[in-house]
Structure 1
Amino acid sequence: MIVELSHRIVDGMVTYPGVPGPKLGVHLSREDSRDVYAPGTEFHIGTITLAANTGTYLDTPHHRYADGPDLSQVPLTKLADLPGLVVRAQGPREVVLDQSLDVRGKAVLIHTGWDRHFGTDAYFHGHPYLAPESAKWLADQGAALVGIDSLNIDDTPPRGERPAHTILLGAGIPLVEHLTGLAELPGEGFRFHAAPPLIAGMGTFPVRAYAIVP
């Protein structure tokens, strides 16, 4: 079974306050393509202008650190076919992880249920986030990737400090924010995938995150 874990990207959607929504357009319409191709042959070539932090997206170390690996430098072994672990953390805003969990080499996905608010103003206020001490523990334990179905893996506000981003990306651990559908996954025993386009010089980009459950 394949489980969809990404939000759909639509024209004008707001993922994060202050970040402009994507703009979808047309480079070549089906009607205009009739003048280019043989009779009966039509194509549509679309365009999109979007901020890298749109929808469900991946953060690489370059997002936080100028000399960190960017989208084109993070190997697929850190993004695809990872053993997955879901941590159910519905409750307090600050998510503190159980340190008896085996997270080494796994995609640790934090299920808060906050994705139910996506697309509404409620999504932007009072969202769950990962406790800094848990971020450090994940880094120390060698988690492969960390994801969350919330507005941000850090508390927002306050403005300025982003301890989970700083710790995890500093340890070379990619992040996936704005996940959805984690309620459909078992606690473990699945494989997680979230590979972005191979773009040099960018630290963040939307992904089609999904899980394969035997």
Structure 2
Amino acid sequence: MKRFIDLTHCITHQMPVFPADPAVGVLTHHNYQNGYFVSQIILGTHTGTHIDVPVHKIKGGRTVDEVPVERFAQKAYVMDLTFLKPLEEIKRGHLEKHAEKIRGVNAVIIKTGWGSHFGKEDFFTSFPGISEEAVGWFKEHGINLIGLESPSVNAAEHAKIHTLLLQNDIYVVESLADVEKIAAEYVEFYAVPLKLKGLDGSPVRAFAVEE
């Protein structure tokens, strides 16, 4: 029997957002006065559990509506790196032991345990991240989609590492929730964005399916 694991943080008007990103707004537009309920939401493209696409860091890069939908639905290897300390970078040495496991897949979900920090002061500042050498390793091994519990790819050099990943056609789903609930080594990973014309990213409803 298939088991579905929701990996998405609930979007609320009080949820934490990355520093300098727009806050979430939820407004009531119709409150049954005409017989129906309609809300208006105001949020950034990188709110909560979301995906980044190339134009986020590369002028003229692919926008979220231009990426084939199958990129966001793939078999993924769940990589356990829960030993990482705050601010520690993922290095080649951490990844090499997983080289055989990722044969035949193009997506990884990196399990660090950082999702438990969501809502805490250090969530946006002290997370373990991807190093430049790790970007090279992922590219060499054909990885084109990475799921992270952290809100960005690297706390100290997020701009540089973001750019490197996207230049190498590696997309990142950030701020995954409840990754610790995944028990299987391999899952079907879905993180499908809204089809937003010309934009740089989107919140997603991310989930994993265990067989």
Name the TM-score, length of structure 1 as normaliser: 0.87
Distance change (3 Å), C-alpha of 1:195 and 1:183: same
Query: Which residue pairs with 1:59 in the alignment?
Result: 52
The Cα offsets for residues 148-167 of structure 1, whole Å up to 9 and x where unpaired, read as 101211223x5xx6333122
For 2:77, the aligned partner's letter is L
Q: Do residues 89 (structure 1) and 89 (structure 2) align?
A: no
Question: Is 2:5–2:207's contact at 8 Å kept on the other side of the alignment?
Answer: yes
Query: Which residue pairs with 1:132 in the alignment?
Result: 132
Alignment of 1:133-212 (within 5 A): 133-156=133-156, 158=157, 162-212=159-209
Q: Distance in 1 between matches of 2:39 and 2:122?
A: 32
Q: Percent identity?
A: 28
Q: Distance in 2 between matches of 1:26 and 1:69?
A: 34
Query: Which residue pairs with 1:19 in the alignment?
Result: 21
The DSSP-based 3-state class of the residue aligned with 1:166 is helix
1:98 to partner: Cα distance? 1.8
1:187 to partner: Cα distance? 4.8
Deviates more, 1:46-55 or 1:121-130: 121-130
Q: Where in structure 2 are there 5+ consecutive unaligned residues?
A: none
The Cα offsets for residues 122-145 of structure 1, whole Å up to 9 and x where unpaired, read as 212321111210111101221130
The DSSP-based 3-state class of the residue aligned with 1:45 is strand
Larger radius of gyration: 1
For 1:186, the aligned partner's letter is A
Q: Distance in 1 between matches of 2:121 and 2:146?
A: 25
Question: Is 1:108–1:146's contact at 8 Å kept on the other side of the alignment?
Answer: yes
Q: Distance in 2 between matches of 1:154 and 1:78?
A: 23
1:8 to partner: Cα distance? 0.7
Q: Distance in 1 between matches of 2:65 and 2:46?
A: 17
The Cα offsets for residues 160-181 of structure 1, whole Å up to 9 and x where unpaired, read as x633312221122211011111
Question: Is 1:79–1:193's contact at 8 Å kept on the other side of the alignment?
Answer: yes
1:20 to partner: Cα distance? 2.5
The Cα offsets for residues 88-118 of structure 1, whole Å up to 9 and x where unpaired, read as 1122321224224243542211111111111
Name the TM-score, length of structure 2 as normaliser: 0.88
1:19 to partner: Cα distance? 1.7
Query: Which residue pairs with 1:38 in the alignment?
Result: none
Q: Distance in 1 between matches of 2:172 and 2:57?
A: 11
Question: Is 2:115–2:179's contact at 8 Å kept on the other side of the alignment?
Answer: no
Report the count of equivalent residues: 201
Q: Report the RMSD for the aligned CA atoms in angstroms.
A: 1.6
Give 1 or 2: higher strand fraction. Answer: 2
Query: Which residue pairs with 1:37 in the alignment?
Result: none
Question: Is 2:125–2:155's contact at 8 Å kept on the other side of the alignment?
Answer: no
